[in-house]
Amino acid sequence: MSEMDDMDDGSGIIKKFMFLNRKAPHGTVYALEGLEVVLITAAFDQDVSMVFTDDGVYQLIKGVDTKGIEVKDFSRTYRALEGYDIEKLYVDQKSMDARGLTEEDLIVDVTVLSVDEMANLMAEQDVVISF
Amino acid sequence: MPMVNIAGKEVEVDEEGYLVDLSQWNEDIAKYMAVEEKVDLTDSHWEVVNFLREYYAEYQIAPAVRVLTKAIGKKLGPEKGNNKYLYELFPYGPAKQACKIAGLPKPTGCI
């Protein structure tokens, strides 16, 4: 059967990967490391989406100046994701509301999802990786 | 990390020869890196090197080769945005070699 042949060496299988970002951009290394993992995953032609929830929504905030804490401002790197064909970016409505943020405060175009919509999207995934 | 003397200036590089502090970059450093990589810099090479520096300034990362190829195609046209053209300029990997000459870190996901 051709379907079986295609699956022999595991190549050509596209899985749905969701990267869940829950932490503020700086103070821990999670956000930056998570972003690097996403950029590397992009090379393997998988179906990748990124979710920003809780303090993770701060990763996408506009107008960041990291000079005072002497670290690289990688917020602009989220704008490069499009070039890596990672275009599914979701944010959690409740997390945005709790922090007084709207889509206009963010550096990239996102889809805002309710808790229920987010739960459905997560249920569809093959792999969910949390940072 | 090792220090090298480039045109009379002490410059720090990592163990693979990439510039550590990209704010130190200048044309002398580019030329030095090109000699190290056995690349004879022409205007076509500079075009790619300068493109990479602009890309880094905008996005704060060195692009993967696939992304670089696509972005160059968009900006400079399809006759330049393809593997053949870029590998002719930088035989050991356009992302890897051109990034080194441009003073950028090794691209994320570069294996």
A86-117: pLDDT as tens digits: 999 999 999 999 999 999 999 999 999 999 99
Closest listed residue to residue A56, CA positions, set A85, A18, A83: A18
Interface test with chain A among B67, B70, B72, B74, by most A beta carbons within 10 Å: B67
Query: How much is the ipTM here?
Result: 0.81
Distance of alpha carbon A36 from alpha carbon B20, whole angstroms: 19
CA distances from A19 to A81, A102, B35, B95 (A): 13, 21, 41, 26
> pLDDT confidence of B35, banded at 50, 70, 90?
very high
Contact A84 B64 (CB under 8 A): yes
Q: Does A74 touch chain B (CB under 8 A)?
A: yes
Cβ atoms of A91 and A57 within 8 Å: the answer is yes
A82 touches chain B (CB under 8 A): no
pLDDT at A29 over 90: yes
What does the pLDDT read at residue A83? 92
The full set of domain ranges for chain B reads 3-101
The domains of chain A, with CATH numbers, are 15-130 (3.40.1260.10)
The first and second tokens of residue A82, run together, are 């499009």
- Determine the distance from the C-alpha atom of residue B63 to the mean position of all C-alpha atoms in its chain, rounded to a whole number: 10
A93 burial (CB, 10 Å; 0-12 / 13-18 / 19+) is middle
A40 contact B CB<8A = yes
Q: Determine the residue type at B83.
A: N
Which residue in the block uniquely carries the two structure tokens 């590998």? B87
Q: Is B110 a catalytic residue?
A: yes
CA dihedral A23, A27, A32, A35 (to 10 degrees): 10
pLDDT at B9: 85
State residue B106 phi and psi, 5-degree precision: -65, 140
For the domain covering B3-101, report its CATH number: 1.10.10.370
Which of B70, B108, B109 lies nearest to residue A83, judging by beta carbons? B70
